[in-house]
Structure 1
């Protein structure tokens, strides 16, 4: 049995000010083509389909088209809700869609949803566990001691009682960690303080494969068969150097699992370039990639962002590594104490965008600060 594991589509998301709808459509089309080319038996989507609980119209249309194409190609798809999704909205018409091979397990009702499948080696059960919080599990099992996310997931799996003599695949959307294992995280994820929301990977002992969502960097967690596939797009500039992809999981007989990462290609990549303004612009070929530019010029520059955008219109972040003769940190802190809120905001805006507030924007911010002061 061959499964395509993906997660964290975050449809409707923006990269700072850039609208990614065209880029996300491009990626969904490539993922569909991979599913057809590899002749997969199932597509597993491990949560965070949308970027917000009330998705944009464009995001809903994209996902509708993606599911429709998979259904028409007779490729079953199994979807769970993530912490960014509204479980009820994502699970709309789930019983009707079941008949079309689109299986939505989004609202937790106390029991895991199980989907029995078969291949040449016998039975395979796909278990779907939407994003869980301890409070939502306590509601159904008040007699159980549930103090942590690990406790909550362990109770739900115990109640499901999988037959581990057969093959079992679990789809889950949680922050999973393993002792002695450093889980890589990035700016585009929603972070919690410390590890209060972590689930220990040991609770998944017995499953042949665990298809995880929630963390945006592809990685295994303790074992080769517990995997994050990562987000399919670079949703923050600190992911510029990473490679994105989906995971092709092939189940053989009991105990035999092969995982292959299939890279994805972008309509527009997210890149980071560093150097002086002259170095960056000298001989540069115009590109619509999303760029994070780090300027190393020692002297102040006029209209640096505008000059970069003339070649790279999708500049998403501009920063200066040199401080242009600024004083040390303590002197800068003293200087900040004597600035007005409007001046501080102007400094922040300049650092992020590489340009000053316009007269109109300045007037708007004056009104905002005056309303706050009152």
Structure 2
């Protein structure tokens, strides 16, 4: 008997409630992207079901308006008769000591199906979804979907337990999807706690044919069975160049066929860079920046762009002598940008001194790292991670010197200790 074709939309890292730049319009972008991709690629072009592989929300505690945004989209899918299956990611998992989460709230109100394994005598157990609870669901189109949770540093061990639990399941559809919120190594720089490909192989051996990942905000696939769509919107300027979107998947005979769809609402962005030579005055730097902004190729019509202005090279004045706030305002007026983000990455030279050469700068960083490492090694609790933590301290110093916000620095620090991505 021929296998029927099943079609589904795979989303992850929606991050409703995003508030990094304290801009209501920027926060709304994440809702608009979610609603538009669902309307275009799940409702207008119907699918059998939708997957959300973690991080529907930006925060574990959310405002009523953010909950309303989620319900608007989920109820449109419900009215169209399209089930939504979801798991918790690190951003929207239940806080420590709390028995419920906002995803559980949505599940209890019938807005989505939350698939969660349970702790059992043999490790993790998967029970059929029934009455609002369960770890897996067999869908009419001939696909079994299995859920998981955010496991952090315990992910490798949890994978082994999940694989064993999958093997114990009763016979069902041969096409098996597992939602798993974790990252694969080698995909982005400076991400600690990523899984190795071989860590995931027990899942394939247990019969998983489509591993629906989330967590890393960049789209990637591996070996025809691992798929990560990336976030719908960029959470930082560092992610602007990442490929991202949602996977629209057709699965009939043979392996799943996943297409990355990107034609939905997204805030445009542009970068403006200026390389200083060390001889310019602050006024000359500002004038050059304005000239670049006037000549920049910015989109016409549609949403106002995000603009990043980056000052690199060498400057012969103190950072505070450049009125960056006034410069941001001028660039915003010229470009019509929603936000202008200022990055002061130039080396500041003292009057009468020479800049450090690249070689000297490298030696300074090595000395700093060595001092951090020796201090950490003297403490029994940190000794085994002294090299990793020394590098983390250098990263934190760099972020603070760049005047990054407290929330961004805290998120980076949390990611280092929990294996999270910012």
TM-score by length of 2: 0.65
Q: How does 1:170-189 map to 2 (within 5 A)?
A: 170-177=178-185, 182-184=186-188
1:82 to partner: Cα distance: 0.6
Indicate conservation of the 8 Å contact 2:17/2:66, yes or no. yes
Whether 1:288 and 2:304 are equivalent positions in the alignment is: yes
Counterpart position of 1:9: 14
**How far, CA to CA, are the matches of 1:107 and 1:54 in structure 2?**
23
Tell me the residue number matched to 2:328.
305
- Alignment partner of 2:224: what SS? strand
Q: Which consecutive segments of 4 or more residues in structure 1 shift more than 4 A?
A: 106-109, 162-165, 194-199, 283-287, 296-302, 324-327, 348-353
The 1:351–1:118 alpha-carbon spacing in structure 2 relative to 1, beyond 3 Å, is: closer
Structure 1's 299 and 266: CA in aligned 2 closer, same or farther, altered over 3 A?
Answer: farther
Distance change >3 Å, CA 129–CA 216, structure 1 → 2:
same
Residue by residue over 1:77-118, the C-alpha shift from the partner in whole angstroms, topping out at 9 and shown as x without a partner, is 101101111342221263551xx7x21225744423111113
Note the alpha carbon deviations across 1:257-295, whole angstroms, 9 max, x for none. 111111144452233222341432224568821221113
Q: Which runs of 5+ in 1 are unaligned?
A: 135-147, 334-347, 354-374
Query: d(CA) in 1 for partners of 2:329 and 2:106?
Result: 48
| Contact preservation (8 Å) 2:217, 2:244 | no
- Deviates further, 48-57 or 283-292: 283-292
Q: Secondary structure at the match of 1:200?
A: helix
Question: Which deviates more from structure 2 when the two are superposed, residues 5-14 or residues 241-250?
Answer: 241-250
The answer to whether 1:71 aligns with 2:71 is no
Q: Distance in 2 between matches of 1:60 and 1:240?
A: 26
Residues 53 and 212 of structure 2 are in contact (CA less than 8 Å); yes or no, is this contact kept in structure 1?
yes
Residues 218, 309 of structure 1: alpha-carbon distance in 2 compared, 3 angstrom cutoff:
same
Q: Which residue of 1 aligns with 2:338?
A: 314
User: Which residue in 1 is equivalent to 2:237?
Assistant: 237
Unaligned ranges ≥5, structure 2:
1-5, 95-99, 127-134, 275-287, 365-398, 405-422
State the SS of the aligned residue for 1:59. Answer: helix
| Change over 3 Å in CA distance of 1:197–1:32 after alignment to 2 | same
Q: Which digits, 9 at most, give the CA deviation of each residue in 1:148-187, with x for residues without a partner?
A: 521222112212325588111111112344xxxx22258x
User: Corresponding residue for 2:165?
Assistant: 159
- C-alpha distance in 2, partners of 1:304/1:21? 24
Deviation at 1:310, TM superposition (A): 2.3
**Please, which of 20, 37, 43 is the counterpart of residue 36 of structure 1?**
43
Considering fraction of residues, name the structure with more strand: 1
Counterpart Cα distance in 2 of 1:235 and 1:156 = 30
* Residues 115 and 146 in structure 2, CA contact (< 8 A), matched pair in contact too: no
Distance 1:309 1:45, change over 3 A: same
> Retained in 1: the 8 A contact 2:16–2:31?
no
Where does residue 291 of structure 2 map in the other structure? 279
Aligned twin of 2:410: none
Matches within 5 A, 1:261-272: 261-272=260-271
TM-score under structure 1 normalisation? 0.72
* Distance in 2 of aligned mates of 1:108 and 1:291: 46
**Match of residue 129, structure 1, among 133, 145, 148:** 148
